[in-house]
Structure 1
Amino acid sequence: GDLYFGPKASLTLGFRGEYNQRKLGNPFNPSLVDQGIFSPLPSANFTYKLTDKQNLRLAYSSTINRPEFREQAPFSYYDFNLNTDVQGNVNLENTTIQNADAKWELYPGDGQVFSVTGFYKHFNKPIENFLLLQPNGFAYTYINSKSAQSYGIELEARKSFGNSGSAFLKNLTLVGNASLIQSKITLGDFVQAPDLSGTTQNFDVRGLTDTERPMSNQSPYLLNLGVYYANPNGWQANLLYNVFGPRIFAVGNAENPTIYEMPRNVVDLNISKVIKKRFEVRLGIQDLLNQAVRLEQDFNRDGKIGNDLTSKTKDADQQVRSFKRGSYTTLSVVYSFGRTIIP
């Protein structure tokens, strides 16, 4: 519901309840997983209008992250990109997340936005990728860590040139956002994970330097940029760029150091043309640069990757996997029977 406090302030309260039933098994044990969980998910949003062009927003919400099927499945499978086995963990639990943020917005003109957001998240039982030792190397499984928190700042900007005297610039829009993020996870002394036979074990992680470390899959920085073009003649194009900072790919243990995924630049291109208000031709190229996915292992456990990859010493960091996902190109023609296509 909405509550108003004069002409400048408003509060929106919400509540959603979700019930999720999950059953997993095999011919020998058809009820390995039989979970029915109700999750209360409240939310609140407060908005204060500072001026005609400025807003202050405060928000809180509770969200949930459920294990994916393969993460919780009672079997192992071979991942050809990683060149190793991945074992599901039937003991995985849902992750609950408490989210809070404060956002200042500025609207300096038509088609222009600038905002600054500070945010905080608390995770209960976050799901992470975990390393398993095996005779010919290592494999992966999934675990619930004890808890985690992340906080940071995000800058977002949008600039339209609709008032420009240039025929080209007035159809152009620039968009960008950048985030700086700090995260910290509390792992505990032991983690519960299956071996490759599916048998649950308690893995000792005491003595590791990374028992309190960043969350897995959480980069310390993110950058997204976009250039959008659309003219009255039916041409549209956008060029999108994304890069992330080095992030933990798989959590290490007392025998296997943590593996990091290194930054890579991703560029997507989309072009379309409307023809006679009925046809539209679309060309899309995802991951135009096709840079390699690089996984590097922190053998000296200093949390710094890539500085000594050329070293041949025993404790030097090592690249354990490098592969390219490939670019993905689509070309399509759309015809509209019932209505005209508006460029």
Structure 2
Amino acid sequence: MSRNEAALEAQKLENVWGVNKSKALPNMGLSYIMGRDLGGSRVKVTTVNGFTFNKSSKTYYGDRYGYTGYTTDDNGTVTGSKTKYYNDNYTYNQTTSTNLVSNWNFEFSPKSSITFSNYYTHTANNMFSVRYGLDYDNQYERVAYATDYVSKSMYLSRVNGHHVLGTDEQTTLDWAAGYSHTTRKEPDYRVAAAQRLLGTTEDFYLLIPRSSKADAGSRYASILKENTYSGRVDFTRNISTYNDGIKLKAGVYTEYSARGFDSRLTSFAQDDNTDYELRYPSASEIGSIFESENFGENGYYMIDGTRPTDAYTADSKLLAEYVGLEIPVAYKSKLGVGVRVESFNQTLVCDTVNVNNQSTDVLPYVNYVKADDKGGVIKMSYAKSINRPAFRELAPFTYYDFEWRTDIAGNSELENTEIQNIDFSYSKQFIYGLKVSGSLFYKYMNNPIEKAYKIRSESPMFTYENSESAQLAGVSVEIATPLSANRHHWLNKVHVMVNASYIYSQVQLSEESQEASSTRALQGQAPYIINASINYTHNDLLFAVMYNTQGKSLYTVGDGQETYPWYLMPTHNLGFMVKKTMTKKLDLSFKAANILNAKATFYEDGNMDGEIDPGNGSDKLIREVQVGPSFTFGLSVKF
């Protein structure tokens, strides 16, 4: 369209740029579940149906920092930097979710049954965010607004069959067929920005761009639809004359997924024909400046900033077959061996980018299980697995993230990750209630996929890339026990559970990598994870305290030249729950979450030593998000 034709089209759009204040209602939820045994003479029918509805509001605060002017010592190690910009975000979210379930079981005989399962979930999130910022490089004070509405829905349907075949009842056939449909709609993501000179008291003036911008006067819309079809058949045959003998297992699985994604970016713009008073309007006019009368030959017009890469189509096909043996090798011990062969084809078309990944992977497995007469179980296993890049990780489509103030784009050059897994575990349950389990594990990854932060000429960007290899080794321990073995002592009603894991990870980088070090921790992997709870149950009263934390993890990879690694620091989450059974049909509950008001804190590792020391001048705060505590009252009725 011509400039004036685009202005006439913009006049047709409803003005939805006003900022309004409202008070949020308390969060609320309602659920109902019903189970019925419908009986039947030839076919026994049982069903479970229900729904859940939740509506919640949440406000959180976040600070965001950016840095420039890095100084280094004689060895090239960063020793300091200066603040490039500072942002203070206030974000309000209102989320509504609906879940439906309808499951039916048809039992034709003790040897034959079919289950029909249906799940539907719909979630809608309404977001409004205000960002106040200081741009020290350009000496501006800025305010930005973002309004977004995203709805997601998924329907999943599955039919499962279980049949015992033959007069000897030594053959079992299990089969399943499934279908799922996923939709994500983002009809109108709006971003407006205003600024004034730093240190002045003038009004903020709205930024009306002269070209398409995703961060000022922009409106973005997108829609994603995906259909997945799957089917499987599993065959088990006892090839011995007794029930616990050698079993032959074989099966086939197939899956097809097809996705379509489309998006559009438009911006309200000005040019030399725009009246002067419309070029720098006050930010206080955000609710009226985009009225239809301000578009036209001497007003604003609309620019379509949609790029060819803002849409893509993709599909994947998987065909897998497996065969294995389960062999008793001694008293209460079994050995399982087998192999799975997967043929996979993934295609993605996005503008001139054509991805066509094809692979045939042979995935062997071996596992050994031994139980004793005192409640102990030993398990040892080896398996090879594959982690394949998701459609979004491959698509070069670029999306602007308002909260991080950066773009997010995929990488069409990603390769599959091959993983070798070795596990050893031991668990034991004692008579008086003590349960103990521990495991050792090791993983070797070839071409692990990691999240990286890049600097481009127009804006920074999150993307994904393969590292050369990675190793993980760890130990996990879980203990659950009453505080007293005496069933008549009140401490027997107090149960403690602790689950703790320590994980060591190391990534080997290729010679082409621009990172300063050849090794580092794996992106996203915390070095330790701790979950703990203490429960007290007495008659109709339950009281529980829950705690969890995890260690510092690499949030995104930096190359040490234009960008630096970002780390998510440890957080300590504490909550509790009280539940009281008033009658056989009535329960009351109260829950509290995040009562320590834990913050999500991100730091930049300027000297790239893998450690964060805020006082050394090189490690700086990147982002801090505070969600706050929440409290929930619950009422449950049975009838």
Distance 2:527 2:333 in 1: 34
Match of 2:559? 253
Deviation at 1:83, TM superposition (A): 3.4
Match of 2:574? 267
* TM alignment of 1:330-341, pairs within 5 A: 330-337=632-639
Please give the per-residue CA displacement for 1:19-73, whole angstroms capped at 9, x wherever unaligned: 66655445x45x7445465655443321234662433321222333343454333
Please give the per-residue CA displacement for 1:53-98, whole angstroms capped at 9, x wherever unaligned: 4333212223333434543333222334433222222333332322
SS in 2 for 1:111: coil
Structure 2 length as normaliser, TM-score? 0.44
**Residues 1:226 and 2:226 are matched in the alignment:** no
* TM alignment of 1:98-137, pairs within 5 A: 98-134=420-456
1:303 is matched with which residue: 610, 614, 621? 610
Deviation at 1:228, TM superposition (A): 2.8
Deviation at 1:105, TM superposition (A): 2.9
Match of 2:545? 239
Q: Percent identity?
A: 29
Which amino acid is 1:140 matched to?
F
| Alignment size in residue pairs | 313
> Any conservation in 2 of the 1:261–1:294 contact (CA below 8 Å)?
yes
**Stretch of structure 1 that moved more, 132-141 or 113-122:** 132-141
Q: CA RMSD in A?
A: 3.0
**Residues 1:2 and 2:303 are matched in the alignment:** no
**Stretch of structure 1 that moved more, 176-185 or 324-333:** 324-333
Deviation at 1:11, TM superposition (A): 1.7
Distance 1:286 1:24 in 2: 42
Match of 1:159? 481
> Any conservation in 2 of the 1:129–1:141 contact (CA below 8 Å)?
yes
Which amino acid is 2:574 matched to?
V
Match of 1:12? 336
Relative to structure 1, the CA distance from residue 226 to residue 7 in structure 2 (aligned partners, 3 Å threshold; closer, same or farther) is same
Distance 1:87 1:286 in 2: 34
Relative to structure 1, the CA distance from residue 333 to residue 136 in structure 2 (aligned partners, 3 Å threshold; closer, same or farther) is farther
> Any conservation in 2 of the 1:162–1:171 contact (CA below 8 Å)?
no
Deviation at 1:265, TM superposition (A): 0.9
Match of 2:524? 217
Match of 1:205? 514
Match of 2:406? 84
> Any conservation in 2 of the 1:287–1:327 contact (CA below 8 Å)?
yes
Deviation at 1:311, TM superposition (A): 4.3
SS in 1 for 2:570: coil
* TM alignment of 1:68-79, pairs within 5 A: 68-79=390-401
Distance 1:238 1:41 in 2: 43
Which amino acid is 1:317 matched to?
D
Which amino acid is 1:184 matched to?
Q
> Any conservation in 2 of the 1:81–1:323 contact (CA below 8 Å)?
no
Distance 2:341 2:544 in 1: 38
Distance 1:143 1:166 in 2: 57
| Larger CA Rg, structure 1 vs 2 | 2
> Any conservation in 2 of the 1:177–1:224 contact (CA below 8 Å)?
yes
Which amino acid is 1:163 matched to?
N
1:57 is matched with which residue: 379, 382, 402? 379
Specify which structure has the bigger relative contact order, considering alpha-carbon pairs within 8 angstroms and separated by 6 or more residues: 1
Query: Higher strand fraction: Structure 1 or Structure 2?
Result: 2
> Any conservation in 2 of the 1:53–1:108 contact (CA below 8 Å)?
yes
* TM alignment of 1:283-302, pairs within 5 A: 283-302=590-609
**Residues 1:321 and 2:623 are matched in the alignment:** yes
Relative to structure 1, the CA distance from residue 280 to residue 68 in structure 2 (aligned partners, 3 Å threshold; closer, same or farther) is farther
Deviation at 1:299, TM superposition (A): 1.2
Which amino acid is 2:570 matched to?
P
SS in 1 for 2:492: helix
Please give the per-residue CA displacement for 1:84-118, whole angstroms capped at 9, x wherever unaligned: 22222233333232211222334343321223322
> Any conservation in 2 of the 1:24–1:74 contact (CA below 8 Å)?
no
Please give the per-residue CA displacement for 1:287-315, whole angstroms capped at 9, x wherever unaligned: 33331211111111222212xx2344xxx
Match of 2:461? 139
> Any conservation in 1 of the 2:418–2:446 contact (CA below 8 Å)?
yes
SS in 1 for 2:379: strand
> Any conservation in 2 of the 1:162–1:172 contact (CA below 8 Å)?
no
Structure 2: give runs of 5+ residues left out of the alignment: 1-324
Deviation at 1:128, TM superposition (A): 0.7
Deviation at 1:330, TM superposition (A): 4.6
> Any conservation in 2 of the 1:181–1:220 contact (CA below 8 Å)?
yes
Which amino acid is 2:514 matched to?
V
Distance 1:146 1:63 in 2: 17
Distance 1:270 1:113 in 2: 23
Distance 1:184 1:110 in 2: 41
Relative to structure 1, the CA distance from residue 45 to residue 335 in structure 2 (aligned partners, 3 Å threshold; closer, same or farther) is farther
SS in 2 for 1:110: coil
Relative to structure 1, the CA distance from residue 325 to residue 38 in structure 2 (aligned partners, 3 Å threshold; closer, same or farther) is farther
Relative to structure 1, the CA distance from residue 301 to residue 15 in structure 2 (aligned partners, 3 Å threshold; closer, same or farther) is same
> Any conservation in 2 of the 1:25–1:74 contact (CA below 8 Å)?
no
Distance 2:528 2:340 in 1: 31
SS in 2 for 1:265: strand
SS in 2 for 1:257: coil
Structure 1: give runs of 5+ residues left out of the alignment: 191-203, 338-343
Please give the per-residue CA displacement for 1:198-222, whole angstroms capped at 9, x wherever unaligned: xxxxxx416x12x211111112222
Distance 1:335 1:20 in 2: 49
Distance 1:326 1:95 in 2: 38
Relative to structure 1, the CA distance from residue 292 to residue 51 in structure 2 (aligned partners, 3 Å threshold; closer, same or farther) is same
